[in-house]
């Protein structure tokens, strides 16, 4: 819960100040911040699945913990993991773009949408496409990933499939 209380960009900027800039530090920061939400959702799903009758039946029949985990729990959380992974990827793309835009992420000459947007800012009045194209690319990819996550949720969730 402590991770949720701290603003992501503040934590990212502090880590960048301590360890320096670059792709390796950026990947470390993104992994450090993003894993908590993913694990929290998966843990909640496992807690629900552990209470199901078919898990109790597997235990009664003598199934090992390893078998229960891989035969019953893992297939039950795969849908959730795929959807959460897809939706969190769009947030990570936005975070990378923001950090690169403010100079705390990927550094020039490495191509990144945040870097391209920042470098095009100086020429906004004479060449607005230098800002609009990378910004539009960020927007389209993030919205597309969100739609993909919603579509996957609708397709993979057995409860939602029964409603249709």
What residue ranges define each of the domains in the chain, with the CATH number in brackets? 2-163 (1.10.3720.10)
Residue 11 is predicted with a pLDDT of: 84
**CB–CB of 28/12 below 8 Å?**
no
pLDDT in tens, 90-110: 989 999 999 999 988 888 888
- Residue 162 confidence (pLDDT): 61
| Per-residue model confidence (pLDDT) at position 35 | 85
The pLDDT, as a whole number, for residue 120 is 95
Report the length, in residues, of the chain: 164
Q: What is the pLDDT of residue 148?
A: 92
| Six token digits for residue 117 | 């947007």
* CA dihedral sign, ordered 122, 128, 129, 134: positive
Give 10's pLDDT tier (boundaries 50, 70, 90): confident
How much of the chain is helix, strand and coil, in % rounded to 5?
A: 80, 0, 20
Query: Of 28, 29, 22, whose CA–CA distance to 7 is shortest?
Result: 29
Cα–Cα distance for residue pair 52/50, rounded to 1 Å = 6
**Which are the contacts of 156, defined by CB distance < 8 A and separation ≥ 6?**
79, 82, 83
- Confidence at residue 32, expressed as pLDDT on a 0 to 100 scale: 82
145 pLDDT higher than 90: yes
Can you tell me the distance from the alpha carbon of 92 to that of 87, in angstroms, rounded to the nearest whole number? Answer: 9
Q: What is the pLDDT of residue 147?
A: 93
Give pTM, 2 decimals.
0.82
pLDDT band at 158 (very low <50, low <70, confident <90, very high): low
Q: If you compute the radius of gyration of the chain from its CA atoms, what whole number of angstroms results?
A: 21
pLDDT mean across residues, the chain: 88
Tens digit of each residue's pLDDT (9 = 90 or more) over 27-54: 888 888 888 888 899 999 999 999 999 8
User: What local confidence, expressed as pLDDT, does residue 9 receive?
Assistant: 80
Quick one: pLDDT at residue 108? Answer: 87
Which residue would you say has higher pLDDT here, 128 or 80? 128
């Amino acid at each position: 819960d402590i991770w949720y209380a701290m603003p992501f960009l503040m934590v990212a900027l502090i880590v960048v100040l301590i360890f320096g800039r670059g792709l390796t530090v950026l990947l470390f920061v993104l992994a450090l911040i993003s894993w908590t939400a993913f694990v929290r959702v998966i843990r909640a799903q496992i807690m629900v699945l552990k209470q199901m009758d078919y898990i109790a039946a597997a235990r009664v029949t003598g199934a090992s913990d390893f078998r229960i985990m891989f035969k019953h729990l893992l297939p039950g959380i795969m849908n959730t993991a795929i959807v959460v992974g897809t939706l969190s990827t769009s947030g990570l793309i936005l975070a990378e773009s923001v950090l690169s835009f403010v100079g705390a992420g990927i550094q020039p000459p490495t191509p990144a949408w945040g870097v391209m947007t920042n470098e095009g800012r100086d020429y906004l009045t004479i060449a607005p496409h230098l800002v609009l194209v990378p910004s539009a690319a960020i927007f389209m990819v993030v919205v597309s990933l969100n739609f993909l996550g919603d579509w996957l949720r609708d397709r993979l969730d057995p409860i939602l499939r029964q409603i249709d």
